[in-house]
Amino acid sequence: MAAKDVDEVLARIERRIQETLSYIAVTPIPGTHPMERKGAIEALKYVLKIIEEERGGGE
C-alpha cells in the first residue's frame, strides 16, 4: 500500500474516531456506568495519539 493510501486510511479512521468520541461524550449509553464511558473515551484518545505518532507528528 502506498504512503498516500495509508495516509488516507488513517485520516478516515481518525475522522470516525472523532465522530465516535463526540457521540460518546454527549449521549448517555443505557446500561453503562459513567466510568465505562470515560474509559472508552480515554482508549479512543490513545488510538488517536498512536495515529498521530505513526504520521510522524509525535515523539
Establish if 46 belongs to a structural domain: yes
First to last CA, the chain: 24
Establish if 48 belongs to a structural domain: yes
Establish if 59 belongs to a structural domain: yes
8 Å CB contact between 14 and 48? yes
Q: What is the pLDDT of residues 39-54, one digit of tens each?
A: 888 999 999 999 888 8
Number of separate domains in the chain: 1
Q: What is the pLDDT of residues 1-59, one digit of tens each?
A: 777 888 899 899 999 999 999 988 888 888 888 888 888 889 999 999 998 888 876 55
Establish if 43 belongs to a structural domain: yes
Establish if 51 belongs to a structural domain: yes
Establish if 42 belongs to a structural domain: yes
Establish if 7 belongs to a structural domain: no
Domain of residue 57, residue span: 32-59
Establish if 3 belongs to a structural domain: no
Is the model's pTM score more than 0.85? no
